[in-house]
Amino acid sequence: EDRKEILKIHMRGKPFSPDVNVDNVAKKTVGFSGADIENMLNESAILAARNERTAIFPADVEEAALKVTMGSERRTLQNDQEKKVVAYHEAGHALVSSNVEDMDPVHRVSIIARGGSLGHTSFPPERDRYNETKTRLMSMVATMLGGRAAEEIIFNEMTVGAASDIQKATSLVRKMITEYGMSSLGPVSLDGRGDNPWLVREMGQGNSYSEETASLIDVEVKRTLNDALDKAKNILTQKKETLDRIAQRLLEKETIDSDEYLSLLDPK
């Protein structure tokens, strides 16, 4: 409700089409700050004006939300094979997310480059969350590695396009182990800062645990990531026909919305 009020405040005085529904926009902006919402709505007005429209339509709001979160659309000079790799990579993210527990629904899959990314798969949260379970976090890790899993299955190859996914997955898994106590190492804080992080940083001291414990953490991080990657590979192997179908549609249309994506999951 607070987000809706912020939206209404920043929508005042702008020529929004009746098709722009506040409830729908609110769902797209879960996790947005007040400044993000203001930037998004201002950007949507700029897009409408740039295209010489007298009203702001839902497509303008959608594009503005993507620009705020991911950067401007950019066209690349990719060859057909490179596009195919990106299509399978993004299809892998989407299909894994649809087959693990507690993930939000896929909202959009695209192979149009934005910012530093060659494509993107978005599953914005359906609601504000104030806590996370280990099950959901592991599903997020498997989804992050779904792109790499698809590359290995389809092309028997790896690309640098998974670098950001791997970095995010590794960071999340390390937090699960060292801060959240979600591993076989038990419910102990191993974030390395001790009770006085500022003093430790000023004195240049290292981790507050032994080298043996550091080694155990590294082993646990690697095992957890490999388990998540194996899970992603198993899902995509079992559903390869669906993976092919999604990737092919991406090559044809470049962007798939939630309704079309659901139809590809169950073409019958």
Q: Which residues of 232-262 are buried (b: 16+ CB within 10 A; e: fewer)?
A: bbebbeebeebbebbbebbbeeeebeeeebe
User: What are the beta bridge partners of residue 16?
Assistant: 56
Strands 73-74 and 255-257: unpaired
Please identify which of the residues 62, 90, 151, 220 carries the catalytic annotation.
90
* Rounded-to-integer distance, Cα 87 and Cα 109, Å: 9
Strands 73-74 and 120-122: unpaired
Nearest to 6 by CA among 38, 30, 28, 31: 38
Identify whether 260 is a catalytic site residue: no
Contact 182, 176 (CB under 8 A): yes
User: What are the beta bridge partners of residue 74?
Assistant: 113
* Rounded-to-integer distance, Cα 216 and Cα 195, Å: 21
CA atoms within a 13 Å half-sphere pointing along the CA-CB vector of 192: 14
To which residue do tokens 């195919």 refer? 84
Question: What single-letter amino acid sits at 91?
Answer: A
Task: Decide: helix, strand or coil at residue 74.
Answer: strand
Q: Which two tokens stand for residue 54?
A: 């007298």
The residues assigned a catalytic role are 90
